[in-house]
Each structure stands twice: as structure tokens, then as C-alpha cells.
Amino acid sequence: MRIGELATRAGVSVRALRYYEEQGLLRSTRSPSGQRHYPEHAVDRVQLVQMLYGAGLSSKTIADLLPCVDAQVSTPESRARLAAERDRIDAQIVELTRTRDRLDAVITLSTSPAGGCAYEGAPAEQEPVAI
Amino acid sequence: MRIGELATRAGVSVRALRYYEEQGLLRSTRSPSGQRHYPEHAVDRVQLVQMLYGAGLSSKTIADLLPCVDAQVSTPESRARLAAERDRIDAQIVELTRTRDRLDAVITLSTSPAGGCAYEGAPAEQEPVAI
DNA sequence: CTAGAACCTGACGTTGACGTCAGAGGCAAG
DNA sequence: CTTGCCTCTGACGTCAACGTCAGGTTCTAG
């Protein structure tokens, strides 16, 4: 398929796909006229890249890890790298959970009728307190 | 305390604190000469801000939420906003968990002796497969 | 009183993951 | 054949959260 279809199917922009290729995260074959062509599984590959970006990995880190994710090569270093990134993500999950619980507490407090800042009745033009 | 001490105690840079004030996330009183002074609880405030930044919230979003986090005001809108952000974080946790599990699978595969890419013996100058 | 650390404002620099625009070529339909 | 959409390269623009530098003031230890 060509780049437009891949973009649509993977849910990213055409620009992003060219950027991924530039960063060594995605390959393409070229037609004689220079147009990029991709196999079916490129969709999965792009979604994996998105997943890793979403976890806060940089292009360079992803480029380092992808060959190992493809299960084509495995050195002690690459496995350590994978484990390190997994641990980073684990820590990130813990942090996010703490943040969510904190927000939950705030919501509970401000929703509870016993709370000091519960909302009751008509929109009382209450002056928001300063910072 | 002055800005340098707050920075040290909260684990951020002086520049970051001035930026937070600029964004309306932090207040300070000023000495006659113009130097910023902070109360003790500013440390907690800064760490909360860091926490929210860490969860991917923008300055503007944090500025919107902070008054409610302070449990000073609560409108249906602000509570909805808090809940929306919490839900976003929840979704983020789910996504991160999926990503971590994916990495875990890769690690298991590449570590398992049955795996097609296990590392054995001396560093065999194995050619990493292309992208 | 003076040196040096800390602070001030203002402003430009940085980085990553793209967005966007220009100008030119490619491809299927009518 | 030409119309219109897709694609190409190259290059500049963007945005957020600061980093960093300049040039000047203030505080504090000796």
C-alpha cells in the first residue's frame, strides 16, 4: 500500500510516517518513480511505534529497541535495555497511579456534601480563590 | 524561604519556579527589594505541580485545576474537569500497562532458551537485522 | 566594607515530533 | 489529454517547559 493508505489505517499523518522512516523506525520499498510502498504488517509496526512513543520513549530509544522487539537479535545489552525501559514504564505507572489517587481524593472531597467546597443549589457567583 | 532554597527542597530549578509563577501555578510574596519569598507549604505545592506535569497535564490545565485541588472552590464544571483528567490518567495507565506487557513478552521471548534469538556463549558478532 | 553568592528582569536558545508550505512530478478516470 | 488527487523532497514553523546568558541589584559572611 502507499503512504496515504498506511497513514489512514494506522491513524497517523503522512508526515509522521516520513518522519519515522527518517528516524529509522519504518522501512519502505520504493516504486521506480520513488513512491513509498508498504506491506500489510506495516500497520502493526506503526501502531507499535505509536505505543512506544506514547510510553515516553524517544525516537532513538525506539530505534535501539525495535530490532530486539522484532526478536531478530538479542544481546545481553539489548535485553538489559528492554528491561530498563520496562522498569521505567513500571515506575511511570506507579507515579500515575499516585497522581490519579490524589485527584480521586480531591474529587471525593469536593463532591462530598460534608466537604467544605461542595456545590449546592444555583450557580452562586463564587469568587475563585487566588493562586 | 527564598527561591533558591525552595528550588533545592522541591528538587526543581530556580528557572522552573519562576516559570510556574509566570503560568499562575505558584504565588510568592515579594520583599521590598523584589525578591520572592515562599511559605513552607510551597514545597508541597511545587511537588504537586511536578506530579501533574508528570502525568502529562499542561500548564494551562494545571492552572485550571489547582484552585479545585486546593478545595477552595468547586463548581460542577471544575469537578467534571477533574474527573475528565482523572479518566485520562486512568486510560494512560491502561495503555502503559499494555505497553509494558508487550515489552515483557518480548523480553520473555528473547530470554527463553527456546526463543529463536536467545543469546548463548561468547558474543557472536551477530549482524543485527535491518529495520 | 567588600567579595562573592544569590537574586532580579528580559530575552534568546533548545529539543522532539511533528505541521505546513512550496514547487514539481506521478497516476487513474473520464 | 487533462483534471484532480496523491506523492515527492526540502525547508521553515510550532509549541511547551524550561536552559542559558547578559547586565544589574541585593544579601551575607568575614
- Output the pLDDT for position B59: 96
Mean pLDDT, to the nearest integer, of A79-106? 93
For residues A119 and A111, the model is more confident at A111
Each residue of B81-111: pLDDT tens digit?
A: 899 999 999 999 999 999 999 999 888 887 6
- Output the pLDDT for position A125: 42
Alpha-carbon distance A30 to A26, whole Å? 13
For residues A126 and B100, the model is more confident at B100
**Nearest protein residue by Cα to C1' of nucleotide C9:** B34
Q: Is the pLDDT of residue B114 over 70?
A: no
Q: Is the pLDDT of residue B121 over 80?
A: no
Is A106–B68 a contact, with Cβ atoms under 8 angstroms apart? Answer: yes
- Output the pLDDT for position B68: 83
Render B34-54 in DSSP notation, one character per residue: S-EE--TTHHHHHHHHHHHHH
- Nearest nucleotide from residue B37 CA, by C1' atom: C7
Q: Is the pLDDT of residue A131 over 80?
A: no
Is A90–B100 a contact, with Cβ atoms under 8 angstroms apart? Answer: yes
Chain B residues with beta carbon closer than 8 angstroms to that of A97: 93
Q: State, as a whole number of angstroms, the distance between the CA of B69 and the C1' of D14.
A: 31
Q: Is the pLDDT of residue B126 over 50?
A: no
Q: Exposed (0-12), middle (13-18) or buried (19+): which is A112, by Cβ within 10 Å?
A: exposed
DSSP alpha helix (H) spans, chain A:
3-10, 14-22, 42-54, 59-69, 76-111
For residues A109 and A47, the model is more confident at A47
Q: Is the pLDDT of residue B119 over 80?
A: no
Strand partners, B113: none
Mean pLDDT, to the nearest integer, of A107-119? 60
For residues B127 and B66, the model is more confident at B66
Residue of B nearest to A24 (CA): B131
